[in-house]
Structure 1
Amino acid sequence: MLIFVNLLFLTIVHLVQGLNVTTSDANSGNPASNAGDGNATTFWHSQYSPTVVPLPHWAIVDLGADTFINGLSYLPRQDGNLNGNIGQYIIETSTNTSTWTTVTTGAFMDDNSKKYAGFSAVTARYIRITALTEAGNRGNWSSAAEFGYNAAPTSTNLGQWSPVYNQPITIAASYLLPGGNVFSFGSFKPDTFGGANGFTLSVTFNAVTGTSTQATISQTGHDMFCPGMSLDANGSAIVTGGDDASNTSINDAVTGDWIAGPLMNIPRGYQSSAALSNGQIFTIGGSWSGGRGGKNGEKYDSATNAWSLLSGALVAPMLTADAGGIFRQDNHGWLFGWKNEYVFQAGPSSAMNWYSTTGNGSQVSAGTRAAAVDSMSGIAVMYDAVAGKIFTAGGSTSYQDVDAHNETYLITIGTPPAVPTVATLTSMTYTRAFHNSVVLPNGKVFITGGQTYAVPFSDLNSIFTPELWDPVTQTFTVLPAHVVPRNYHSIALLLLDGRVYTSGGGLCGTKCGTNHPDVEIYSPSYLFTSTGELATRPVISSISATSIAVGGTLTVVTDSEISSWSLIRYGSATHTVNTDQRRAPLTPTATDGTTYTFVLPSDSGIMLPGLWMLFALNSAGVPSLAETVKVTVSEQSKVRKLELG
């Protein structure tokens, strides 16, 4: 079980012109003052002529007065040269320059993007960064275009952001592990991609400590950059295609081992996949790699460890009219596994479709999203699976070089292949593409990041202000801003403690300054009291079973009275798509004091087999730490499906 840590939070990055910076040494022409002048074209450099002053080097940032802070920002030199990029570092704070307290240590990636080093909030006037190594091991040098600081606000009325935690790689895909850590990966290098390299760099983030552990995945011969991804009935990650476009890699949820799965029938990249009501995995689309066009559906069965081509599950009906042609038109489908082994495709095309995965598969039109335009790199989230409710928002008519939009729709699906109802909702506050969405335990949808004009590998036109959609009032609330741009290759996931993990963006090597190898975590307002203190959480004291079949009975005991309950499926996210997350609100069938009994929905299309987070919310809306519940397909359901053929 995760323990919520009282980290105080950063929302404002200060790069102040005239900020006073002193350093251990400086080369002639590159004085310390350059690192605080607000001009990114100038830079401080440690002394290298006439003699080299060896590492370590330090820089002290004077804030001018005691300030409540929780981070340092560092902009490397921007002249195209990487010499002096700071690698390993120690950051200390002080109120008087006599007594220093270490607040964090770490290492920066060797590129020219802006870096952040976050720490629990303290009051200080001075921040000292000591460079222990040069990031590229090119010599005994250190340099900086600008240093800045992060001011930590105290208001919690609309939630707060954590410090920025550095990671050793820039990621493009993430999923939740049993127990609550976040597993993420990018490509074969820490900061770039390219080619089928047969291995992938990964990082596991501990959401309690804020620390990361790097590993290389080579066991499956798979460069997993830009894959399809779904969590199966056991919570194992099924990662498909990408740079090695035919491959399947399986991350076993129990052992943590990586296992090479069978090759897909059709090589793919940028496809989406979705878990099915019978525990299998469906995928469709993906012309980014492995050839273009004809990326019809297929499904994976873990019982037989085999892919089956679904010749009737045609991709053509779900294509967008993207200006980039077929290379882009079948990317990132909005897929939802549903009843009777159907998949509902809600977008990003304006056309919607039902896909049956039985036999050879089939496709039936489900109409259009009202008057919606194509919405590539928009978001879709099933916030109420019991009622079949799907919220969609934003995107753009083509993958890139077009304006984003802020249109939102509410889709209600029923028994397939019936045409769903679609309602046009009030638009988002901001137009967004490449943004992410997370459904919270209370059913509200958190939307973060994105650009007003879609351009991969760019931080221009970034939206730093999240917003929260309320399904009851169908209105949006603007939330505190995050610090790091989260656009193309960014992700967001719900954690077991009710916070939201965000990361990624970039992964373009030295060709751009938009790599973001770091993490920010948002704590919604429901975690705080009206006076800004941490709210007292209800506690799930015991649970009758941690594995339960659909339609089964569950008894839960809490330490206090509970007002509402929800199950949220473990999430996996890449390229704005998270087909795994869905929320199922629960209503007790019996209550005895603080003992609650539930009967789960009996349809495995609603309660997809897999790992779910059980949240208990009190009358103030404060969620408990989640208990993990594994939902399985009942034997009766399996027999019934066999009888029906």
Structure 2
Amino acid sequence: MTRRTLLAGALSATASGLLLGAASRASAAGTAASLEPLDITGPEAILGRRWIHLKLDENGRGLPVRVPLRVPGLRSASASASTSAEPTDIRVTSTTGLTRIGAAPDKPEDDGVTLRAAAGSASDLWVTPRRIGSPGVPADRLEIRTRKATAVVDVWIEPPGGRWLGADRDLQPLDLEIVAVHAALVRKGDGAEVVMWSPARDRDEDGNLKPDPDRPGKWSWTTFHMGALEASALDLVTLKTRERPMTSGTGVKPRNIFCGGHAHLPDGKLLVAGGHVDPAHLELDDAVGLHVYDANAANGWSRPAEMGVRRWYPAVTTMPDGRMLIAGGSRTPPAHEAAKNDLPKGYWNQINNDYQIYNPADSSLTPRSEARRLIDPELLSSPRDKLAVYPNIFVLPGKTATSLPLVALVETNRAWLYEYDKAKGDTPLVLAPTVYTMRGKGSRSYPTYGSNVLLPLKPGARKQRILVVGGQHEDQVKHRDITNEQKATATAEILDVDAYQPLSRQKGWRRVDGGMKYPRVLCDSTLMADGTVLVSGGTEKGWGDMNKVPVFASEIFDPVSETFRLADSAPTDRRYHSTALLQPDGTVLKAGSTGGFAHDPDTNESLFDEHTTAERYYPPYLYRGPRPAITAVAGAKEAWTTLGYDTTVALQARGAGLDAQSKVALIRFGSTTHGNNMDQRFVWLATTAQDSESYERWTIQFRTPETAAVAPAGDYMLVVVDSMGIPSSSRFVRLS
């Protein structure tokens, strides 16, 4: 029988026009395009290579898009008599109703449309997106039939701002049975889990949670209970949690490590430094310990060392040589009576301006007596200015692979730059004698924290960029004046660090034009699987313990254009003590939030409004088209692969959108609390060859990071991003 072919094309369409997808990328949006015919009896039709990509605008509307269809077997009347000259009917129907189709842009038909394909010409099908479907699958499927052939074309409808949905399998909120104040992605067996912890809720003698008599439907808390910790781990496959109490580990007694800092060790375990402090019992050894969480150990927790000083809200950073930097933190939390915080033993005068180095190879730790100063107070304008708690610390590559690595520390409204010289032993930080002050005057650190993120690193780039968003209003000069009425800022700034220039002569901070759409404090910024940044949560007014006017709307920052755009609004307010963590499937898990953490100063009513549920953010790329998939790394199909530095590695991938412009990236496992993800890092890798093996199958060769200053040793997610900006699900990689 003679084969008949029907055009359904490799399409990617925007709301304003048609773009060629996998077949070609030459046409511009808004122009009509001639499309290659789809042979419905060939492998491309069977495997579903062809799809249509539509986009909705910010108001949820989409314009009709022209899709020309023709039957290539038809010939004009002047052709040979053996070739049919009769027009052929093409019947098109929608299977879900999420698109509207018609023979004209203003005449959609609910029951499908019949087109007449004349010899030598195309028939126009007009497709209009109505609303999005579920993430990760086509919103609609068009059946296109002639008398002798049938083709099925998937339609993907992309919302500009992605979508917030429940984190459970049925897209309903997922009950974590814990307030995820701290959250980290960690390796467990051949997969990964999310470990979470918070202060322990009160329990009766039988271990049952005790309800709060003053807050119906809520639990009773004793936040300063130093001998208790509530910790759980979320299995990413089953979405079930298991308790991970700090009880029976060797040499471990329960300690409240809520308010500690944490980052991943090179072997994938999680190091936690410090914790909560009870102002009424400062003689206790709370917040002085180092703890390690091992997802694969029965007991989970161990305590390898003590720091010799309380560190409440410290920073922990994995350094290029595999050692861990533990910095800052306070010896006491702030009082709600502002005057007490200025006393000699008050909060502002108890912040540790020093750092210690922990070496996991032998569990050694710098003695507190030998801890070195972190910042130089003499460079500050006033003796009242202090180092902030939870400073954001970033490791940066030096000028060359043999140069000393660089370190940037961001706190309050300023940045400090260092060289990292491991030859100096336990005092490796060499501070540049310049403080880089932001354009905005307000503080972006606790108690009015915003969020910082190191933007994606590119191979061979001489500059690295640090983005800071949110925090105290830009006109606020008195950082110690904290009230529940003070305003947040919508501004954002970028620090460019040029490795080719002396650290004392950098250009400093610059404003991001336009800033964010919403002011916010107490927010999160999360690197997503395509290199963009999700900004979520927070409030428009207040500080940690006392805040109001939650921000539901999210925003996406594009590191290429350096602009923000609105994203979907979350269904739940996520304020103080909330977390946001990128998942291996490319979604962002959002959890936690205690609302406030005190009582209203006027009414004495509790400001607690804790959330034990989790939502998931589905970025726009999960609605854009079929995702590529990595099938093997370095010839191995196992879930985990260990890679060295500065080596060429081949991966095998399949995907309809893969081509010679596809990219490869490493994304470090995240570890976050209080708007400070101390681990997240996105590294674009240099690709050296991309070869198409067969239909939709590619071998891509890439170079691993040249040094550990580009990507410190530890666990990463490996992704392939096709030329439509759609990332694969992750494969796990350990850089060693």
Letter in 1 for 2:393: L
CA distance in 2, matches of 1:184, 1:320: 37
* Native 8 Å contact 2:522 2:543 kept in 1: no
What's the counterpart of residue 3 of structure 2?
Answer: none
How far does the alpha carbon of each residue in 1:16-48 deviate from its partner, in whole angstroms, 9 at most, with x for none?
xxxxxxxxxxxxxxxxxxxxxxxxxxxxxxxxx
Give matches, 1:315-464, under 5 Å: 315=375, 317=377, 329-339=387-397, 340=404, 342-354=406-418, 356=420, 358=422, 359=424, 360-361=427-428, 362-373=430-441, 374-376=443-445, 377-386=449-458, 387=461, 388-396=464-472, 398=479, 400-401=482-483, 402-415=486-499, 417=503, 419-421=505-507, 422-426=509-513, 427-458=515-546, 460-464=548-552
What's the counterpart of residue 537 of structure 1?
Answer: 627
- The structural deviation recorded for 1:261 is 1.6
Please give the secondary structure, in 2, of the residue aligned with 1:490.
strand
CA distance in 2, matches of 1:341, 1:253: 31
CA distance in 2, matches of 1:279, 1:196: 34
What's the counterpart of residue 610 of structure 2?
Answer: 515
CA distance in 2, matches of 1:599, 1:193: 51
* Native 8 Å contact 1:285 1:333 kept in 2: yes
2:668 corresponds to 1:569: yes
What's the counterpart of residue 159 of structure 1?
Answer: 162
Q: Percent identity?
A: 23
Letter in 2 for 1:469: F
Letter in 1 for 2:355: G
Letter in 1 for 2:653: T
Which of 320, 335, 343 pairs up with 1:277?
320
2:267 corresponds to 1:234: yes
- Residues 625 and 202 (structure 1 numbering): CA distance in 2 closer, same or farther, change over 3 Å? same
CA distance in 1, matches of 2:230, 2:621: 35
CA distance in 2, matches of 1:193, 1:319: 41
What's the counterpart of residue 498 of structure 1?
Answer: 586
CA distance in 1, matches of 2:180, 2:419: 31
How far does the alpha carbon of each residue in 1:277-317 deviate from its partner, in whole angstroms, 9 at most, with x for none?
01111121111539713441111100120211564333454
CA distance in 2, matches of 1:319, 1:499: 42
What's the counterpart of residue 145 of structure 2?
Answer: none
Which of 705, 708, 711 pairs up with 1:601?
705
Give matches, 1:9-88, under 5 Å: none
Matched positions, count: 474
* Native 8 Å contact 2:315 2:391 kept in 1: yes
* Native 8 Å contact 1:437 1:445 kept in 2: yes
Which of 193, 198, 202 pairs up with 2:231?
202
- The structural deviation recorded for 1:206 is 3.3
What's the counterpart of residue 101 of structure 1?
Answer: none
- Residues 254 and 357 (structure 1 numbering): CA distance in 2 closer, same or farther, change over 3 Å? farther
CA distance in 1, matches of 2:378, 2:406: 15
CA distance in 2, matches of 1:311, 1:414: 29
2:227 corresponds to 1:186: no
Please give the secondary structure, in 1, of the residue aligned with 2:489.
strand
Deviation beyond 6 Å, 4+ runs, structure 1: 318-323
Q: Which runs of 5+ in 2 are unaligned?
A: 1-133, 136-156, 167-172, 203-218, 277-285, 334-344, 398-403, 599-604, 693-697
- Residues 318 and 624 (structure 1 numbering): CA distance in 2 closer, same or farther, change over 3 Å? farther
CA distance in 1, matches of 2:506, 2:581: 27
Q: Which runs of 5+ in 1 are unaligned?
A: 1-119, 122-153, 530-534, 633-645
CA distance in 2, matches of 1:338, 1:157: 32
Under a length normalisation based on structure 2, what TM-score does the superposition of the two structures give? 0.60
2:363 corresponds to 1:305: yes
- Residues 229 and 541 (structure 1 numbering): CA distance in 2 closer, same or farther, change over 3 Å? same
- The structural deviation recorded for 1:441 is 2.1
Please give the secondary structure, in 1, of the residue aligned with 2:621.
helix
2:677 corresponds to 1:589: no
* Native 8 Å contact 2:260 2:314 kept in 1: yes
CA distance in 1, matches of 2:576, 2:380: 19
Give matches, 1:214-225, under 5 Å: 214-218=243-247, 219=249, 220-221=252-253, 222-225=255-258
Moved more, 564-573 or 166-175: 166-175
CA distance in 1, matches of 2:361, 2:610: 40
Please give the secondary structure, in 2, of the residue aligned with 1:181.
strand
* Native 8 Å contact 1:342 1:357 kept in 2: no
- The structural deviation recorded for 1:513 is 4.0
Letter in 2 for 1:314: L
- The structural deviation recorded for 1:456 is 2.4
2:311 corresponds to 1:268: yes
Which of 623, 630, 636 pairs up with 1:528?
623
What's the counterpart of residue 177 of structure 1?
Answer: 186
Q: RMSD of aligned C-alpha atoms? A: 2.9
Moved more, 489-498 or 258-267: 258-267
- The structural deviation recorded for 1:472 is 1.7
* Native 8 Å contact 1:313 1:356 kept in 2: no
- Residues 193 and 285 (structure 1 numbering): CA distance in 2 closer, same or farther, change over 3 Å? farther
2:632 corresponds to 1:556: no
Please give the secondary structure, in 2, of the residue aligned with 1:489.
strand
CA distance in 2, matches of 1:494, 1:521: 10
Letter in 1 for 2:444: S
CA distance in 2, matches of 1:549, 1:344: 25
* Native 8 Å contact 1:369 1:409 kept in 2: no
* Native 8 Å contact 2:353 2:373 kept in 1: no
* Native 8 Å contact 2:271 2:290 kept in 1: yes
Which of 289, 302, 323 pairs up with 1:247?
289
Please give the secondary structure, in 2, of the residue aligned with 1:453.
strand
* Native 8 Å contact 1:343 1:357 kept in 2: no
